[in-house]
Structure 1
Amino acid sequence: MEESTVADASTTKDLENGEDLEKESFITKDGTVDWKNNPADRRTTGGWKACPYILGNECCERLAYYGMSINLVVFLTDKLHQHNATASTNVTNWSGTCDITPLIGAFLADAYLGRYWTIAAFSSVYFVGMVLLTLSASVPSLKPPSCVGDVCPGASPGQIGSFYLALYLVALGTGGIKPCVSTFGADQFDDEDPSEKKYMTVFFNWFYFSINVGAMIASTFLVYIQQSVNWAWGFGIPAAAMGIAIVSFFIGSKQYRHQKPGGSPLTRIAQVIVAAIRNWRLRLPADETMLYEVDGKASAIEGSRKIQHTAEYSFLDKAAIEDKSRPTTKWNLCTVTQVEEVKILLRIVPIWASVIVFSTVYAQMSTLFVVQGLKMDYILGTFKVPSASLSMFDPLSVLILVPIYDRLLVPFVRKYTGHPQGFTQLQRMGIGLVISTISMVVAAVLEIQRLRVAREKGLVDADDKNFPKLLNAQLSIFWQIPQYFIIGASEVFTFIGQLEFFYEQSPDAMRSLGSALSLATVALGNYLSSLLVTIVTKITRRDGKPGWIADNLNHGHIDYFFWLLVALSVVNFLFYLPFAYRFKYKATK
């Protein structure tokens, strides 16, 4: 009887051990946890089962954002009765704020809140802002009276205050969403598991696809509602879309995987720099294993795996040398992983800088491309095609090319390169840089042709309103479609490749910050575009000349400006190549 009992107990123990081993084999290897803070089980969390909620959230949020921002300058001039210059400045300031606040949201996500709670909290702020914005467009007491003839009453301080409160709540809200949603979506795939990691690139493709679905709906349907129906519906629909985005996000809560916040990344960076300076007299050991690192598999940084030592930027390694003459503190001694975090950021910087010129080219869609279109034949029968509406061919290009890239190009290229994603991240970004250069060549050639037609038909000094009619369909605005479409193609390579690159190569505990930095290239690209326009205008308008970017484009040469961007893009690509070629991808232990 005793032998039977012992045998049964032994069998039970073996079964329990077998179950534990089986369960452990399904635990993610990248340190993610589930909603109960237990190690994430890939059978019940993450993967494609979690992604529809995240992609739905992104699509609706971008629809909300573009739905209220794409036509914002019109609302400021038509409904708040601001002057064109004032309205343009206010929109630019607000857009700049939207590009800065992601640094705040990313810091909070990486340091303290985690990506899930950052998205949840900032989405709520975003939604409140959208509701207030809708009220400002629909409640009579929150907007100035309509114009009577040429007399347009100005908005009261209270009306202005309530509107800008709503607007900047949206700016704050988007700051917590933009840097976190893409990284949170990528967190759903274990990059230590080859079977899951191969889908990460696919996720980024469809994430960017979702962005452009929202942008496409906003630039067509919502613009029509705002201009042809009323602004209450024009802002109300985006507010409702934001509500749907929040609901979509929360529905998937139990299926998400979470990376734990690792504490302030800025503090860790400062500690490495201070420790390296304090230890500058110490000699580096010949054996890298003598550098300080905590024992065990886990690193000293919460939510981060250990990173293998690299030989680059060896002066920073002195932060990981123990000096027994001083008390051991985090400001005197750092782990190898902490030092490698800083090295990774230094390696990323040149790649990051290379995308700024790309963003400058991208910025032309909302500036010089629009101006160029106004000097072409935009009359289609009795319908006048808005020059800015041609920008819809950019998201349309993305919507067409992302499935082609994902389903056709990647499998084809994979046969020759052997790489799971067809191209490496840096190869993909580089191809996009080349394609964006081609878009400027196409725009320049079109402008040369436009100027030639204007001269041949004697329309150089024609009135702006009559100019399109006088062209007599000889130079249709639809000839601009290729340059918009090509820029969309470059986004499929560079912008999506950049999203993936910054996610994978950023330190585990700095991934939101890496995403925020990648988003900052768009803002810097806009600033660089403005700076170039200012410099070119000042130089080329000397001695009474009209300049390249003249008030009457027929007297100017924006083709020269496009060629300047071609030259800058070529120089930028040549700058990018050696850094991309020598770049050492992050390796974890």
Structure 2
Amino acid sequence: MAETPSATSNRFPPQIPFIIGNEACERFSFYGMRNILTVFLIDYLLKNANPDPGAREAMAKSYFHLFMSGVYFFPLFGGYFADRFFGKYRIILWLSLLYCVGHACLAVFEHSPAGFYTGLFLIALGSGGIKPCVSAMVGDQFTAENKHLMKKVFAIFYWSINFGSFFASLIIPWTLKNYGPSVAFGIPGVLMFIATIIYWAGRRHYVVVPPSGRNPNSFGAVMSTAFLNFSQRPDRKDWLSGARKKHPEESIEGVRAVFRINMLLMPTIPFFWMLFDQKASTWVVQARSMDPKVGDFTFQASQMQFVNPALVMILIPVLTGVVYPAFQRMGWELTPLRRMPMGLIIGAFSFVIAGFYQVLMEGGTTLNITWQILPYIVLTLAEILVSTTGLEFAYTQAPREMKSVVQSLWLLNTTLANVAVAIAAALNIFTGSAQFFFYAGMAVVAGIGMAFMATRYKVHDYYQEAKPIPVGEHAAPDLATKGS
């Protein structure tokens, strides 16, 4: 068994490189297949089903966003089964194998809709199911002795995600153009298989926290008791007071916190994800109508997505290290409740720019594909203000026992957004420049509404606190064990 690093050591636990390597390869595999999915559906799989290019584009966008809704829906199940029954290590390993099978289906069944859609389902299940487990697995590897390294390792972890996405966005669209779908989908499959091998190779080093089993005071348990005792609740003004017969007050207050957070986030945040995830569908379709030549190089429409991860790696240090402190020194701190509404409106502006481009092209103007860099810059800035801030906000506003519930509901916002876009695309209500201005308008309304609601929101931060050990007593033994 490896020796635990001391508090003065700057060495990461030996298992960390396995998790980081796994994440970089897995993210390459996911973004590699995702970023070419819209183009593949339009030019290959749906070509015989519908000869009308406009109808194919609408169908492709609808199918793409249905797939993405699944990716962000299955974390609910992955996190639940990991925490309650099987543990994170087993869930990640088992679902990674299904993930590999899904990639194989895409590479093999490029001409078979049934086989291809089966592959998409397995990838959504695998990618979504492991999503809440991998980052938590990173945190599980640290103890009080080396917790000072945790912030650094999560920064590396986040960079590995964007590192994999950056190279996938550049390489796989080019591969699709030059070598066809089997190779273009096969390479991400190989990377996912390598990711699984890397993860499995670290099995003797991982700290594996066992599943907690049933929680009698969980969110669902408190809700169920409150509904069953609704007519007999002691406080007629408090619909949760009926839960007091079976659950402690702190658990009931936790449920209130969940509703308080989501009354602010769920009516507003999905409108951002409606914008953001269309960079892999609507913006790709727009890029197909642009001049792809930049000097001697010909860009593929899907390749422009490389701008987003590249900018994320640049802008996060700039914002957190320069911009936020500058505003704080000026006496106007950019709190989460200010950043998120601002991000929604900035995100809307990216769609206004893209919509203006579309108006020019509909009028006969030919634009070079590099013009898309500007809306990508604006959208990436909005992503950092909304996404990274929202995760922080949702975590800190939830009591300890409700943090996983709130994180799951945060991901559900993305599911709701993609379902809405899928329905709108299937109905084909808005086409051309109108769709850009439609989504921009909704995001502006959501941003203004969130800013108004934020003025009435009472911030209540919850942080993890170590329980003091009474004098003369010893600490309880750690239940974490090494994986085998």
Aligned to 2:458: 582
With normalisation by structure 2, the TM-score equals: 0.76
Partners in 2 of 1:282 and 1:567 — Cα distance?
A: 41
Aligned to 1:499: 391
Aligned to 1:71: 36
Aligned to 1:304: none
Aligned to 2:22: 57
> Alpha-carbon deviation of 1:574?
1.6
Instruction: Specify which of 258, 261, 269 is matched with residue 345 of structure 1.
Output: 258
* Alpha carbons 1:186, 1:203 under 8 Å: kept: no
Aligned to 1:518: 410
**SS of residue matched to 1:100:** coil
> Alpha-carbon deviation of 1:397?
0.9
> Alpha-carbon deviation of 1:345?
2.0
> Where do residues 200-219 of structure 1 align in structure 2 (5 Å cutoff)?
200=151, 203-219=153-169
Partners in 1 of 2:249 and 2:106 — Cα distance?
A: 49
Aligned to 1:564: 441
Q: Say which one has the larger Rg.
A: 1
Equivalent pairs: percent with the same residue? 26
> Where do residues 135-534 of structure 1 align in structure 2 (5 Å cutoff)?
136=108, 155=112, 161-189=114-142, 196=147, 199-200=150-151, 203-264=153-214, 268-276=218-226, 278=229, 281=232, 316-321=240-245, 333-353=246-266, 354-373=268-287, 377-380=291-294, 385-405=299-319, 412=325, 427-428=335-336, 430-445=338-353, 447-448=355-356, 451=359, 460=363, 462=364, 468=366, 475-503=367-395, 505-506=397-398, 508=400, 511-529=403-421
Which stretch shows the higher mean deviation, 503-512 or 204-213?
A: 503-512
Aligned to 1:543: none
> Alpha-carbon deviation of 1:161?
4.7
> Alpha-carbon deviation of 1:177?
0.8
Partners in 1 of 2:264 and 2:149 — Cα distance?
A: 23
Partners in 1 of 2:287 and 2:119 — Cα distance?
A: 33
**Are residues 251 and 97 of structure 1, via their aligned partners in 2, closer, same or farther at CA, if it must alter by over 3 Å?**
same
Instruction: Specify which of 68, 79, 85 is matched with residue 112 of structure 1.
Output: 85
> Alpha-carbon deviation of 1:128?
3.0
**Are residues 437 and 209 of structure 1, via their aligned partners in 2, closer, same or farther at CA, if it must alter by over 3 Å?**
farther
> Alpha-carbon deviation of 1:230?
4.0
**Are residues 512 and 383 of structure 1, via their aligned partners in 2, closer, same or farther at CA, if it must alter by over 3 Å?**
same
* Alpha carbons 1:226, 1:233 under 8 Å: kept: yes
**Are residues 52 and 382 of structure 1, via their aligned partners in 2, closer, same or farther at CA, if it must alter by over 3 Å?**
closer
Aligned to 2:474: none
> Alpha-carbon deviation of 1:64?
1.0
Partners in 1 of 2:218 and 2:126 — Cα distance?
A: 27
> Alpha-carbon deviation of 1:59?
1.6
> Alpha-carbon deviation of 1:429?
6.7
**Are residues 531 and 128 of structure 1, via their aligned partners in 2, closer, same or farther at CA, if it must alter by over 3 Å?**
closer
**Are residues 334 and 583 of structure 1, via their aligned partners in 2, closer, same or farther at CA, if it must alter by over 3 Å?**
same
> Alpha-carbon deviation of 1:108?
0.7
**Are residues 214 and 513 of structure 1, via their aligned partners in 2, closer, same or farther at CA, if it must alter by over 3 Å?**
farther
Q: Look up the equivalent residue of 1:577 and give its one-letter code.
A: A
1:246-274 CA distance string (max 9 Å, x none): 23323444554444433356983343234
Partners in 2 of 1:586 and 1:405 — Cα distance?
A: 24
**Are residues 448 and 500 of structure 1, via their aligned partners in 2, closer, same or farther at CA, if it must alter by over 3 Å?**
closer
Gaps of 5+ in 1: 1-34, 138-142, 145-154, 285-312, 322-332, 469-474, 539-548
> Alpha-carbon deviation of 1:231?
3.6
* Alpha carbons 1:360, 1:525 under 8 Å: kept: yes
1:543-585 CA distance string (max 9 Å, x none): xxxxxx55xx4xx656643651453243243245236x51312
**SS of residue matched to 2:247:** coil
Aligned to 2:101: 128
> Alpha-carbon deviation of 1:176?
1.9
Partners in 1 of 2:261 and 2:436 — Cα distance?
A: 33
Q: Look up the equivalent residue of 2:174 and give its one-letter code.
A: Y
**SS of residue matched to 1:71:** helix
Aligned to 2:481: none
Partners in 1 of 2:60 and 2:329 — Cα distance?
A: 52
Partners in 1 of 2:440 and 2:60 — Cα distance?
A: 31
* Alpha carbons 1:126, 1:174 under 8 Å: kept: yes
Aligned to 2:450: 573
> Alpha-carbon deviation of 1:70?
2.2
> Alpha-carbon deviation of 1:63?
1.0
Q: Look up the equivalent residue of 2:308 and give its one-letter code.
A: D
1:163-222 CA distance string (max 9 Å, x none): 4444332222223211221232234456xx69837944x555443332222222221112
1:435-471 CA distance string (max 9 Å, x none): 34224325425644774x67xxxx83x5xxxx52xxx
> Alpha-carbon deviation of 1:522?
1.8
Gaps of 5+ in 2: 51-55, 468-484
Q: Look up the equivalent residue of 1:101 and give its one-letter code.
A: F
Aligned to 1:305: none
**Are residues 562 and 180 of structure 1, via their aligned partners in 2, closer, same or farther at CA, if it must alter by over 3 Å?**
same
Partners in 1 of 2:87 and 2:330 — Cα distance?
A: 37
* Alpha carbons 1:53, 1:248 under 8 Å: kept: yes
**Are residues 91 and 533 of structure 1, via their aligned partners in 2, closer, same or farther at CA, if it must alter by over 3 Å?**
closer
**SS of residue matched to 2:218:** helix
With normalisation by structure 1, the TM-score equals: 0.64
**Are residues 375 and 93 of structure 1, via their aligned partners in 2, closer, same or farther at CA, if it must alter by over 3 Å?**
closer
